[in-house]
Structures are given as C-alpha cells and as structure tokens.
C-alpha cells in the first residue's frame, strides 16, 4: 500500500482522476465534485442570514465560520468563511435559493465562483509587447520605426504570441503624457497589421479616441492602465465594440506613481479597487466575459508591494475573471538581481512568469515571447504528467 498527495485544481482534472480509478460513468461527475475542497469568503452578511448559512452548512456535513456575536444577534454583519467540497457547496447554494435576507442572490454569486472550477488552469496565453514609442523603459525605442515595428510584430507571431499588445505612449515611471493626435500618428503605420493580424490585438491606451481607432481596425482588447478612469468616454467605446478590457490597478499616474507610494495593505486595496471597477463595468453594460484583471506590477508599487502581490495572486484569481500579470523586465526584478539594464532581466522575468502561471494567472504580458512560452510549455508538460501519474 502507498499513500501520496494528489493535487486537483479543477473539475477537468477531477473527472480524469475518478475515471482512472474506475468509477462508473453514472457517478463520475458527482464524485469529481467531491474531490475538490475550497473555502468561500463571503463579506457583510447580516447576522440572521449568517445563522441560516451556518445551519445549512452543518446539515450538509460541513460548517460555516462566523463572528462570535452572530448567534446572539449582537452584531449587524459578519464575514462568513464557508469551507467544503464543490459538491457540498453546490448543495448549500441550492438550499440558499429558498431562504430570505437576500440569500437567493448570494446563491447566484456562489454559483459564479464555483463555475471557475469548470475551467482548467493549465492553459496560458502569451501577450507579446510591442511598444512603438521612442522612450519605452524596456527597449528604448527599438520599434519606434515602421520597419522595425513590422518586423517585431511578425517575429512575435512566429515565436508563438497568442495576443499582441500594441502601445504608442510610454507609461514608464516619470513619463510625460502625449496628445491623442501624437498617439494616433504613431499607431497609423500599424493599422494594416492590426487588420490582417492572425492573432488578437490589444491596444494599450487609456484614451477612448485611440482605443476606438484601433478597435475599428480589428483590435479586440483594450488594455487600459487607468481601468477606464482617465477618459470617461472609454467605457462607452468598450461597450459599443463589445471588446475585452483589461482593468489594471495603478496608484497615481505614470508621472507620479513611483514618488513614495505607500499602502497599509496592498492586497486589500487592490481587491477593493477591483470590486469597484468590476461593478462599474457591469453597471455600464460591459459583459462579465469581457473583463480581465491586472494587479499592476510596478505601477505605484514598491519592491515589497510587488512581491506581496505575486505571492498572493490567488486573492485576485478568486474573482473568477482571467488574471493578467505584466512583470516582464521591470525594475523590481533588477533590484533583486542587481541588473540595471532591462534587457538583462530575462531570467528574472521568466521566473516571475512561471510562478504567476503556477498561481493561476492565465495571461502573461511579456517582451521575450519565445523564451517565456518555452519555459511555460515545459512547466505545463510537467503538470500534465503529474496529473496522469
């Protein structure tokens, strides 16, 4: 006899595991749901509702952790920690549909979170960076010229980029803003590439007019460092083109963001930011399946903040939206490795990408497409082999 730990992170893996055991097909789905355990954190639940959740959880073989004063009703609201297998949580969710105090709505929210487990986290997308700026921190204007930009565009496709993110305004710390006219002037030369691109194109801009110009040529993603805050027209542009949108957290502006940034709790601040921005998008007609989150590595962050974000990425994947991380070549890597020149930070960039992928990140925004994709492909193969072990 031999006992070993098996890591199962989604229902696709779970179904494969129970199938290999030889479980009958009739019960494979329900057995798979019993193999994955998670804890749901539910905020601001009224005490009477928290009591109901606790009683239902107990009846389903688990429990709910609530504030000590919930039972006596001495507290208005409580955070609830609800642990259980996917099967148990689904049954609890069904029971909540029949309950008062807004628990029917909570049931729907729980179902959305649980649906994340239907998606395999073993897949990743590589977003290649193409800066057509004269002052990019990473490549110093290498692709500012039309010929160079075209060559790099097709080179990244050949290297395996799944998405190409085109930006015509630098957002490096201390960079100055440029006009809409200047940004569009830099982009015009690439419009034919956007129209004929075999991979999705992301436009890296916070200006609605620039985004609309790129979307009208075939771009399908808006990568907005301000998360739709710097141009009030942007949300209408995203909605009207039904494009995907990357909501990135940034403290301050590119000019000021690295001037003594400070957080009491960087994780909680970003979580609150995401909640507000997600609500904003949904209330303005942007569909859930169009939203991508980005915690904004290096945008108004100290070294300790960037490391904290990376080590707690699961806090952001728990929202159920795709998570994008863009840490490639950034200065925090140089502070760790001692490499001042961005192009010499390849090894640190790959290490960050691999770690992010293992933590559930699905989109990696990188400058070194081939090297990063190769590294992640090896990690993915190892993970797949471990599942079948």
- List the catalytic residues: 330, 365
The pair of structure tokens assigned to 212 is: 């609309």
Phi-psi region of 222 (alpha: psi -120 to 50; beta: other; left: phi over 0): beta
Q: Which strand (E) or helix (H) includes residue 77? A: strand 77-85
Distance CA(64)–CA(225), nearest Å, equals 38
Sheet with 291-294: strands ordered across: 291-294, 244-248, 221-224, 201-204, 163-167, 125-131, 363-366, 324-325
Instruction: List helix spans (H) across 250-302.
Output: 266-283
Phi, psi of 340 (to 5 degrees): -80, -30
Distance CA(361)–CA(123), nearest Å, equals 9
Say what angle helices 86-96 and 47-59 make with each other, to 10 degrees. 130
Work out the burial of residue 143: count CB atoms within 10 Å of its CB; fewer than 13 is exposed, 13-18 middle, 19 or more buried.
buried
Q: How far apart are the first and last CA of the chain?
A: 16
């Amino acid at each position: 006899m031999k006992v070993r730990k098996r890591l199962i992170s989604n229902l696709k893996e779970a179904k494969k595991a129970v199938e290999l055991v030889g479980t009958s097909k009739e019960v494979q789905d329900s057995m798979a749901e019993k193999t994955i355990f998670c804890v749901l954190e539910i905020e601001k639940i009224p005490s009477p509702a928290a009591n109901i959740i606790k009683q239902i959880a107990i009846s389903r073989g688990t429990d709910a952790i609530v504030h000590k004063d919930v039972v006596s009703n001495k507290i208005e609201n409580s955070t609830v920690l609800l642990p259980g297998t996917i099967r148990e949580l689904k049954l609890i969710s069904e029971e909540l549909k029949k309950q008062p105090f807004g628990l029917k709505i909570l049931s729907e929210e729980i179902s959305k979170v649980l649906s994340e487990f239907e998606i395999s986290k073993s897949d990743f997308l590589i977003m290649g960076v193409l800066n057509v700026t004269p002052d990019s921190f990473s490549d110093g204007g290498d692709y500012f010229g039309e010929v160079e930009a075209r060559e790099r565009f097709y080179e990244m496709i050949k290297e395996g980029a799944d998405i190409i993110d085109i930006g015509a305004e630098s957002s490096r710390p201390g960079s100055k803003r440029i006009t809409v006219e200047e940004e569009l002037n830099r982009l015009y030369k690439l419009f034919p590439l956007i129209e004929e691109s075999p991979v999705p194109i992301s436009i890296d801009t916070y200006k609605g007019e620039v985004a609309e110009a790129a979307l009208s040529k075939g771009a399908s993603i808006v990568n907005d460092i301000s998360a739709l805050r710097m141009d009030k027209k942007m949300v209408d542009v995203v909605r009207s083109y039904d494009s995907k949108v990357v909501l990135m957290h940034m403290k301050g502006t590119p000019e000021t963001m690295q001037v003594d940034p400070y957080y009491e709790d960087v994780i909680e601040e970003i979580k609150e930011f995401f909640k507000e921005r997600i609500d904003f998008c949904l209330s303005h007609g942007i569909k859930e399946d169009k939203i991508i989150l980005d915690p904004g590595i290096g945008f108004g962050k100290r070294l300790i903040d960037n490391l904290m974000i990376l080590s707690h990425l699961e806090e952001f994947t728990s929202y159920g939206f795709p998570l994008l991380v863009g840490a490639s070549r950034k200065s925090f890597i140089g502070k760790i490795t001692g490499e001042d020149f961005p192009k010499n930070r390849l090894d640190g960039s790959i290490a960050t990408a691999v770690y992010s992928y293992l933590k559930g990140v699905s989109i990696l925004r990188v400058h070194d497409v081939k090297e990063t994709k190769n590294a992640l492909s090896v990690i993915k193969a190892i993970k797949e082999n471990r599942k079948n072990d």
